Structure 1
Amino acid sequence: MSSPRTVLVVGGGAAGNAATILLRRAGIAVDLVEARDDWNATAGSGITLQGNALRVLRELGVWEQVEKAGYGFDAMGVTTPDGTVLHVAESLRAGGDDLPATLGMQRAQLQSILIDAVRAGGATVRLGVRAASLDQDGDGVTVRFTDGSEGRYDLVLAADGVGSGTRAAIGITDRPEPTGMAVWRVAAPRPAGLTRTDIAYGGPAYIAGYCPTGESTLYAYVVENQRERASLPASSYADEMRSLARHYGGFWPEITAHITDPDQVNYTAFARMLVEGSWHRGRVVLVGDSAHCCPPTLAQGAALSLEDAWVLAGMVSAADVWDDALFQAYYERRVARVRPVVEASVQIDRWLLDGVRDADVPGVTGRTTAMLRELP
């Protein structure tokens, strides 16, 4: 009897965890290595998951836990800076009519749910470990790890994020490029009556918005021009975000009152990247943010990463031969879907930076969401 095929997943974020769960379900032996000692030390306060992300989470078998932990809704409001509601739009359910259009949840809770599913699936997990070197031949990849150990794999999935060291190690030189914007985010209690995302354009920030993440929680964000991190000591984060947020009305005064702890505020620059031509070299394949990233103007980063994992795991599990043709087919299938999302996200970012007052943001959002409703 031939031994089962083996896969190394580098990175234990959403894409890596999803791929691991699906590959183990198909009977493939999986080792997962995560650079952090604390696997659940997820930066960020909350996450917005569109319907196409929820569809993949259902395929992973974790939808019931996600639904219970998060807060689903089907509308988005647009307000003036003083909180006056200008328009409330029903959002298209990109994951299908039986899933909410959008669900917000705390990032750490999503990570915890995925971690539990990875462990239940029987993958071997090592924390605080990186892939130090990869030596490929026609049959597989020999990987040496930072803890001094070595392993031999039929396939390596690079799911180690936008700053992927694996991407660089296989000679792909693409790197994320800043778009010029950055976002402040914070978790806060959810005021009574706040039941959807509202976005205010204008005021001292380009965007001020919030998303409910549970029965009593939300995360709030304000988007501004990117600043040099050297000018932003971490101790000033709460003051900096509060100085922007205090100019907004509606639910914002109640939210702003809780922006007090700089350790609970994070600052993230917007970036774009789309690796072109292929997402593999030999038997090392990029998945998720290691292959693409975009501004969160359409809230599709996690969704696209989860889709990558679902598609790649399905193709790998069904294939008798793992070769260039298979991995190129994965790239061509995914890039046709990812490229318009990256381009649309960057376009909205650019309209805001350029102050385009008649920008067709609703049209771009609607067309993109309609495209994402189709199966990846």
Structure 2
Amino acid sequence: MTDRTFLVIGGGVGGMSAAISLRQAGAAVDLIDIDPHWRALGAGMTITGPTLRAFDRLGVLDGVRRKGYLSDRTRFFSADGTFQREILAPSLEENLPQAGGILRPDLHAIFSARVTEMGAHVRLGVTVAELEQEPDGVSVRFSNGETGRYDGVVGADGFHSATRALIRPDAPRARFTGQGCWRLLADRPAHVTCPEIYFGRDFKVGINPCSPDKMYLFANVRMPGNPFIPEEELIPRMIDLLEPIGGNIRLVRNGIGPHSSVVYRPLEALLVPLPWHAGRVGLIGDAVHATTPHLASGAGLSVEDGLLVGQMLGDADDIEQAWKAFGERRWHRSRVVVENSVLIGDLEQQGGNDERIAAIMGESVVELSKPW
């Protein structure tokens, strides 16, 4: 056990994972989030076996079992709805589910309850204004004028990380990959029991159950020039882009109406070279390895980061060296996810190469099945 104190900046799944893991190691934790309402953004998310493994270590797997939807296979179809093949997800450990999906607000509720249960101190509507590193700690001035002092700081504040700007102002900028992702939450018919992927000529559409009665639809589509999509165009444009797709996608399309909530975001990727730290302050999650959704592993990487950084910092004799070791340990895994996800997206935009895409996905599954 330790008597150290850490600050975690960012209350997403990565930051909450770090807070839980640090508390498991016995450290005192302050978790801050700039959103005073601590909201979860997005509709649903896919959960892979490695992510479920991390959930188990963090003590949230039972909640995910109750609120999410677990499955063991993915089915693939041509654009017109013709069945092509079915792939079983690997089982990583005995009694561990293979894969699944969950609503992001439900996952946030499970994690935030666990953070509170573990005794982390949560402060909302506040962020860091200034960090001052000293030989034996980090002095912090918060946006509300208050101050604090910590043995180490975890920057888990996401894609637009302000912590990254403070400690790695030289970091590269994210790049647009040429695709955008359209998402829609819909009711789940009883016959949809696992993820389904439909391949168009240069785009991909899928559905994934994410609760006992809901599923989300996603469409990865070429968006040349990275255009801005006005809110009033989201629903009609999604109806149009789904028009060529058959099978269960057509059922979802037929149910889209004024009540529907369509979300669109351009797909961007970022991989920050090492180091991911400066002194006792380091970065995890999307702050250093933001990826596209093609391997369904972006949030999972962040959760693994948080779990591992808590374990490595919590009992470290040297905080700075622990941050260095953390980056070196996570670099290869993160690079595989970011680069292979972008490569799959590139192949989709070129008209698809099913065999090459399947090979990349298979290689990635093998790599991610390894311990983190």
The separation in 2 between residues aligned to 1:98 and 1:120, in whole angstroms, is 25
Question: Which residue in 2 is equivalent to 1:84?
Answer: 82
- Paired amino acid for 1:52: P
1:322-341 alignment to 2 at 5 Å?
322-323=319-320, 325-341=321-337
Q: What displacement does 1:318 show?
A: 2.4
Q: Is the 8 A contact 1:92 1:370 kept in 2?
A: no
Q: Is the 8 A contact 2:226 2:266 kept in 1?
A: no
The separation in 2 between residues aligned to 1:354 and 1:224, in whole angstroms, is 11
The separation in 1 between residues aligned to 2:237 and 2:140, in whole angstroms, is 44
Q: CA RMSD in A?
A: 1.7
- Paired amino acid for 1:269: P
Question: Which residue in 2 is equivalent to 1:26?
Answer: 25
Q: What displacement does 1:235 show?
A: 2.2
Distance change in 2, residues 1:229/1:366 (3 Å): closer
Q: What displacement does 1:118 show?
A: 0.6
State the TM-score, normalized to the length of structure 1.
0.94
Q: Equivalent of 2:346, from 347, 350, 355?
A: 350
1:65-76 alignment to 2 at 5 Å?
65-76=63-74
C-alpha offsets along residues 164-188 of structure 1, whole Å, 9 cap, x if unaligned?
0110111342232111111100110
The separation in 2 between residues aligned to 1:125 and 1:194, in whole angstroms, is 39
1:103-114 alignment to 2 at 5 Å?
103-114=100-111
State whether structure 2 residue 217 is matched by structure 1 residue 220.
yes
Identity %: 36
Question: Which residue in 2 is equivalent to 1:320?
Answer: 317
1:248-267 alignment to 2 at 5 Å?
248-261=245-258, 264-267=261-264
Q: Is the 8 A contact 2:156 2:283 kept in 1?
A: yes
Question: Which residue in 2 is equivalent to 1:246?
Answer: 243
- Name whichever of 163-172 and 230-239 sits farther off: 230-239
What is the aligned residue count? 370
SS in 1 for 2:23: helix
Q: Is the 8 A contact 1:9 1:30 kept in 2?
A: yes
- Paired amino acid for 1:350: D
State whether structure 2 residue 14 is matched by structure 1 residue 15.
yes
- Name whichever of 182-191 and 96-105 sits farther off: 96-105
Q: What displacement does 1:233 show?
A: 1.2
Distance change in 2, residues 1:281/1:263 (3 Å): farther
- Paired amino acid for 1:338: S
State whether structure 2 residue 186 is matched by structure 1 residue 188.
yes
Question: Which residue in 2 is equivalent to 1:47?
Answer: 45
1:134-283 alignment to 2 at 5 Å?
134-172=131-169, 173-202=171-200, 206-226=203-223, 231-261=228-258, 264-283=261-280
Q: What displacement does 1:355 show?
A: 2.2
- Paired amino acid for 1:19: A
Q: Is the 8 A contact 2:4 2:314 kept in 1?
A: no
Structure 1: segments with no counterpart, 5+ residues: none
- Name whichever of 352-361 and 240-249 sits farther off: 352-361
The separation in 2 between residues aligned to 1:262 and 1:154, in whole angstroms, is 49
Distance change in 2, residues 1:373/1:231 (3 Å): closer
State whether structure 2 residue 354 is matched by structure 1 residue 375.
no
SS in 2 for 1:251: helix
- Paired amino acid for 1:246: E
Structure 2: segments with no counterpart, 5+ residues: none
